[in-house]
Amino acid sequence: MCGFAGWVDFGRDLTGLREQVEAMGATLACRGPDQCGLWVGPHAVLAHRRLVVRDLHGGQQPMVCDRHGRRYVIVHNGEIYNSDEIRAELANRGWVFRGYSDTEALLAAYVEWGPACLERLTGIFAFAIWDETSHRLFMARDRLGVKPLFYAEREGGLLFGSELKALLAHPLVPPEVDADGLAEVLVMGPARTPGHGVFRGVHELKPGCWLSFEPDLPAGSSGPVREPRGRLVCRRYWALESRPHPDDLPTTVATVRRLLEDSVRRQLAADVPIGTLLSGGLDSSGVSALAARAYRERALPPLRTFSVDYEDNERHFRSSEFQPDADGPWVERVSTWLGTVHRRVVIDAEALVEALDQAVVARDLPGMADIDASLLLFAREVKREATVVLSGEGADEVFGGYPWFWREEDLRADTFPWTRRLDARLGLLAPDVTEAIRPQLYLERRYREALEEVPVLAGGSPDQARLREIAYLSLTRFGPTLLDRKDRMTMAVGLAARLPYCDHRLVEYVWNVPWSMKACDGRAKGLLRRALAGVLPDDVLARRKSPYPKTHHPAYTAGVRRRLQEVLADPASPLLPLIDVRAVRALVESEGRALDVPWWGQLMMGPQMMAYLVQLDTWLRRYRVSLRIR
């Protein structure tokens, strides 16, 4: 788990501009606190920051490979979980390796097979490879987009980096936002549209895609680079495919169990302290149970587990449709059952309010308010005892655990089911902003684009087709928000998070399992519950879904209310031209109760809206955002 940045330009000599790429890489120091490296060539400069997880004394990047008279340079972020198998296959083809770094195996795989190497990879990754001989840049991102990668074409060249802040550190990428970018922030909320970089001319490499950038030479030409401009090509190498499911229920349950066990075992490979994040819910408890079992089989010391809670939560917790019960007792139940060495991290309201600004910098955008900030504080404490953690993200998307899979009004609604109360949010915006971004039309356009991607299965009923649409939207539009959050908040403190439910082999298999099997026994994630039978206690298997916890402490609401009042009282605030100040004041005076149902996702209500507006103000100020929406 690392961070990288780079600049490729065929029209200028970059050797004298290395400092600009060094500055880009420096913004990613939190992602790679252990080592830094820079590779400089006439037309490419690559910077890398490394978090050491495997092959402690090898694997330094940028890594260079000379093969058959050609030179290749790689920068890589992520983990290739099947690198041992790839290395063995390449050894049979004559390759000799210096160590056991997955980056070395990845670079050799590309040299041997080219872009086709992507089909062989199991893992989470984003990487860039520079072919110095042919002057070709190749970049790729993992299938579900667990690891980030952004790019921007500027003056015929290409800038790229693991996070937006790396690009914004370059003088050719000013922090300008147009109407579409502002709509992403104000309408889509934390759920950015795949491929959209928010800032003008900045793009995200979409999950399951690769990109090449090479000189745009006339057909039939050869020899040295003469044309200053580059030609960019993007291709998708992976997508979900719909086909009939051939297995019966017992076979399906067994296959899910086998795939999940294999995913967990592979992701436990590390040369540094490792643990799991445990909420006491089905998803994280299943990962922790399979990890603990693997530890016992290897005669290793007990597994470390970590949970998060909030000051006085037992006193202030209020049950709701989305949070039926508190996590604390369930965490203790599972940890005791598994015999883990457990640490409970408790966050107080004041620290949570203060961390809202830190979370904006970690994500480079306004995000999920205290849901982000609490994870950042949690990860900071976990990092004191572990460098790698396994987490339960992805299970609800893969197995259909969200409420919108079950509520008729959500299934019938012709929009993203997590984008609630758009009308209430629009009432907080200045009328001229609403006119400029046209929010209803923007949301409708993004929704229709997503539906057009859904791989149709012939012969299904309308109800089955709708559930497939909801599953696709959850996997490709809602899920990436949580993956993005997990990556940014953990890597902001140098903690590497691995996600067993996001193994593409498991995702591909479960995608085509019919809903009747996914919801077997009449339960949300019934298939996963059956697959984990015997691994977890029966009461944990039966526990209702409870999302990542949020604080119910009134001190938090008071804190974000105070912060927003300070923003409203500052005539220099860049937020004020975007909002209807009178409407926002009314929200503040109601202490957020004017939004009494989630306006996004499951947990973001009135206090989170106030916090989101605070984060928006922080983002506009700190990033010196220039709006170009007229």
Known catalytic residues are: 2
CB 61, CB 68: distance < 8 Å: no
DSSP three-state, residue 106: helix
Two tokens, residue 200: 């003008």
* Strand pairing report for 44-50 and 35-40: antiparallel
Integer Cα distance of 466 and 534 in angstroms: 33
Q: Give 535's contacts (C-beta < 8 A, 6+ positions apart).
A: 286, 289, 290, 293
Enclosing H/E stretch for 44: strand 44-50
Q: For residue 314, what is the enclosing H or E element?
A: helix 313-316
DSSP 191: -
363 CB-contact burial (10 Å; exposed 0-12 / middle 13-18 / buried 19+): buried
Which residue type does 49 have? R
Coil, helix or strand at residue 139: strand
Query: What's the rounded Cα separation, in Å, for the pair 340 and 288?
Result: 9
Residue 270: C-alpha distances to residues 51, 53, 100, 140, 497 (Å): 12, 6, 11, 23, 12
**Residue 259 is encoded by which pair of tokens?**
């795939």
Return the bridge partners of 429, or none. 579
In the block, tokens 């500055």 appear at: 23
Given the structure tokens 């197995």, which residue do they identify?
399
555 and 548 in contact (C-beta within 8 Å)?
no
Token representation of residue 346: 């408790």
Pairing of strands 388-390, 230-236: unpaired
